[in-house]
Structure 1
Amino acid sequence: MDHDFRFLACDEAAAAYLGQPADRLLGQSIWDAFPATARPPLGPVLRRAMADRRPVRFEMAGTIRPDRWVEFTLFPIAEGLGIAFRDRTAVHRATESLQASEERLRDLLSTLDLGNSMARDMDGTITFWSEGCARLYGWTTAEALGRSAHHLLGTEFPRPVAEVAAALERNGEWTGDLHQVARDGRKLVVAARKVLRRDSAGRPVAVLEALADVTAQRAAEAALAESEARLALAIAAAEIGIWDWTSSAARLVCTAEVLAICGLDSSTEVTFALARQMVHPGDRRRVVRALREARDPARRAQLDLACRIRRPDGTVRQVAIQGEPLFSERPAGAFAIRVVGTLRDVTERWQWQEERFDSEARLRLALGAGRMAVWDADLRQGKVTGSTELPRLLGFPDGPLPDIETIRARFAPGERERLRKMGLVALAGGEQFLEAEFRYLRPQSAACWLMLRTEFTLDASGRAVRAIGVVLDITERKQAEERQTLLAREVDHRAKNALAVVQAALRLTPKDDPASYMRAVEGRVAALARAQTLLARGRWTGAELRALLEDELAPFLAEGASAPRARLDGPPVMLWPAATQALSMAIHELATNAVKHGALGRPGGTVTVQWQVEPAGPPILRLEWRESGGPLVPGSPSRRGFGTRVLDGTVRAQLGGKVRQGWSAEGIRVEMDIPLSGGITPPMPESAAVSPAKPLPPKHMPDFPRTA
Structure 2
Amino acid sequence: MVHPLTWQHASQSDGRLREFLMPALVDLGASIIIQDARQQYLLVTNLPDVWAQDNLEAPSDEIIFGADVAARLAALKADMTEPGRKGQLEVMVGAEQFFEFRVQAIECADGGVHLVTTIVDRSEERHRERLLRALLREVSHRSKNLLAIIQSIALQTARHSGSLDLFLHKFRGRLYSLSQSQDLITDSSWRGAYFFELVQQQTQKYLPENRELVKVSGDNLLLSPNASLHLGLALHELIVNAVSHGSLLRNGLPVEVSCVRKHTDGQDTVEMVWHEPLQRALRPVDDADELKAHFGSTVLERVVPASVNGKAQYVIAHDRIAYHLAFPLDAGGQ
Normalization by structure 2: what TM-score? 0.62
> Is 1:608 matched up with 2:262?
no
Name the CA distance, whole Å, in 1 between partners of 2:241 and 2:263.
Answer: 31
> Is 1:479 matched up with 2:131?
yes
Name the CA distance, whole Å, in 2 between partners of 1:653 and 1:529.
Answer: 20
Query: Aligned to 1:621, what secondary structure does the other structure show?
Result: strand
> Is 1:674 matched up with 2:327?
yes
What pairs up with 1:217-616 in 2 under 5 angstroms?
A: 355=20, 359=24, 364=27, 366-367=28-29, 374=31, 387=46, 390-391=48-49, 426=76, 433-436=87-90, 438=92, 440-441=94-95, 448=96, 450-453=98-101, 455=103, 469-473=119-123, 474-509=126-161, 511=162, 519-535=169-185, 537=187, 542-557=192-207, 559=209, 565-570=213-218, 573-598=221-246, 600-614=248-262
Q: Do the aligned partners of 2:305 and 2:325 also contact (CA within 8 Å) in 1?
A: no
CA shift for structure 1 position 671: 2.9
Percent identity for Structure 1 against Structure 2: 19
Q: Do the aligned partners of 1:583 and 1:650 also contact (CA within 8 Å) in 2?
A: no
Stretch of structure 1 that moved more, 547-556 or 666-675 = 666-675
CA shift for structure 1 position 548: 2.6
Partner of 1:623: 272
Residue-by-residue CA offset, 1:455-479 (whole Å, 9 max, x unaligned):
499xxxxxxxx98612222313320
Name the CA distance, whole Å, in 2 between partners of 1:422 and 1:354.
Answer: 32
Identify the match of residue 649 of structure 1 among 296, 302, 312.
Answer: 302
Q: Do the aligned partners of 1:544 and 1:573 also contact (CA within 8 Å) in 2?
A: yes
Q: Do the aligned partners of 2:88 and 2:101 also contact (CA within 8 Å) in 1?
A: yes
Query: Aligned to 2:215, what secondary structure does the other structure show?
Result: strand
Name the CA distance, whole Å, in 1 between partners of 2:255 and 2:17.
Answer: 76
Q: Do the aligned partners of 1:452 and 1:471 also contact (CA within 8 Å) in 2?
A: yes
Q: 1:548 to 1:386 in 2, by over 3 A?
A: farther
CA shift for structure 1 position 435: 2.9
Name the CA distance, whole Å, in 2 between partners of 1:433 and 1:455.
Answer: 5
Opposite residue 501 of structure 1, the aligned amino acid is: I
Q: 1:533 to 1:619 in 2, by over 3 A?
A: same
Name the CA distance, whole Å, in 2 between partners of 1:567 and 1:610.
Answer: 8
Q: How many residues align?
A: 285
Q: 1:452 to 1:607 in 2, by over 3 A?
A: farther
Name the CA distance, whole Å, in 2 between partners of 1:423 and 1:649.
Answer: 64
Opposite residue 556 of structure 1, the aligned amino acid is: Y
Residue-by-residue CA offset, 1:577-634 (whole Å, 9 max, x unaligned):
3323222211111212222444534342212222244478554333232334x33458
Query: Aligned to 1:677, what secondary structure does the other structure show?
Result: coil
Opposite residue 622 of structure 1, the aligned amino acid is: E
Name the CA distance, whole Å, in 1 between partners of 2:75 and 2:326.
Answer: 57
What pairs up with 1:85-96 in 2 under 5 angstroms?
A: none
Q: 1:455 to 1:657 in 2, by over 3 A?
A: farther
Q: Do the aligned partners of 1:651 and 1:674 also contact (CA within 8 Å) in 2?
A: no
Name the CA distance, whole Å, in 2 between partners of 1:612 and 1:602.
Answer: 29
Q: Do the aligned partners of 2:226 and 2:331 also contact (CA within 8 Å) in 1?
A: no
Larger relative contact order, structure 1 or 2 (CA cutoff 8 Å, min sep 6) = 2
Query: Aligned to 2:296, what secondary structure does the other structure show?
Result: helix
Opposite residue 549 of structure 1, the aligned amino acid is: V
**How much is the aligned-residue C-alpha RMSD, in angstroms?**
5.0
Query: Aligned to 1:556, what secondary structure does the other structure show?
Result: coil
| Structure whose alpha-carbon radius of gyration is higher | 1
Q: Do the aligned partners of 1:652 and 1:658 also contact (CA within 8 Å) in 2?
A: yes
CA shift for structure 1 position 552: 1.0
Name the CA distance, whole Å, in 1 between partners of 2:250 and 2:313.
Answer: 24
Q: Do the aligned partners of 2:297 and 2:314 also contact (CA within 8 Å) in 1?
A: no
Opposite residue 621 of structure 1, the aligned amino acid is: V
Opposite residue 578 of structure 1, the aligned amino acid is: N
Q: 1:662 to 1:501 in 2, by over 3 A?
A: closer
Opposite residue 173 of structure 2, the aligned amino acid is: G
Name the CA distance, whole Å, in 2 between partners of 1:544 and 1:424.
Answer: 58
Query: Aligned to 2:122, what secondary structure does the other structure show?
Result: strand
Which residues of structure 2 form unaligned runs of 5+?
1-11, 34-43, 56-60, 106-115
Residue-by-residue CA offset, 1:543-575 (whole Å, 9 max, x unaligned):
444333222101221636xx7611233555444
Q: 1:514 to 1:435 in 2, by over 3 A?
A: closer
Q: 1:602 to 1:453 in 2, by over 3 A?
A: farther
Normalization by structure 1: what TM-score? 0.33
Which residues of structure 1 form unaligned runs of 5+?
1-346, 368-372, 377-384, 409-415, 442-447, 458-465, 684-708
Q: 1:438 to 1:546 in 2, by over 3 A?
A: farther
Partner of 1:658: 311
Q: Do the aligned partners of 2:99 and 2:119 also contact (CA within 8 Å) in 1?
A: no
Residue-by-residue CA offset, 1:317-367 (whole Å, 9 max, x unaligned):
xxxxxxxxxxxxxxxxxxxxxxxxxxxxxx999x9799569737xx54x54
